[in-house]
Structure 1
Amino acid sequence: MFENFDDILNVDDVAKALKIGTSQAYKLVRSGKIQAFKEGRAWKIAKQALINYIMNQQ
């Protein structure tokens, strides 16, 4: 599904994958709708967490 992306994504990658703005991607991550963790100041998102989010939206 997202073969061109690494296994660990950042918020910009999530925004590109979902074709949404970066602000909206941050909202999804901060709200916990997409599981993520912080490494320093940067959010990290497993590609599988993004896939799970999409599958739960259907």
Structure 2
Amino acid sequence: MYDDYNEIITVGQLAELLQIGMNTAYKLINSGEIESFRIHNVHRIQRSAVTDYIIRKSTSCNRVKGES
């Protein structure tokens, strides 16, 4: 149960993980594309939400390529 706490990342870590800028990272979480929660006005993201986002994007890219 407590091992899951290591799976919570910051917006900065999200940006680093996806190799994107901070503005793009905030756009992804503010739009709901990547689920997050707030603690004292600071966003926190479960690593599994990032994995889900990557899988969704990978699937949609593969689907579009297959339709060409």
Post-superposition shift, 1:41?
Answer: 1.2
Q: What is the percentage of aligned positions where both structures have the same residue?
A: 34
**When the two structures are superposed, what TM-score results if normalisation uses the length of structure 2?**
0.75
Identify which of structures 1 and 2 has the higher relative contact order when contacts are C-alpha pairs closer than 8 Å and 6+ apart.
Answer: 1
- Greater Rg over alpha carbons, structure: 2
- Runs of 4+ with deviation above 2 angstroms: none
Deviations 1:38-58, CA, capped at 9 Å, x for gaps: 111100000000000000001
Paired residue for 1:51? 51
Gaps of 5+ in 2: 1-5, 59-68
* Counterparts of residues 1-58 of structure 1 (less than 5 Å): 6-58=6-58
Post-superposition shift, 1:23?
Answer: 0.6
Tell me the distance in 2 between the aligned counterparts of 1:13 and 1:43.
11
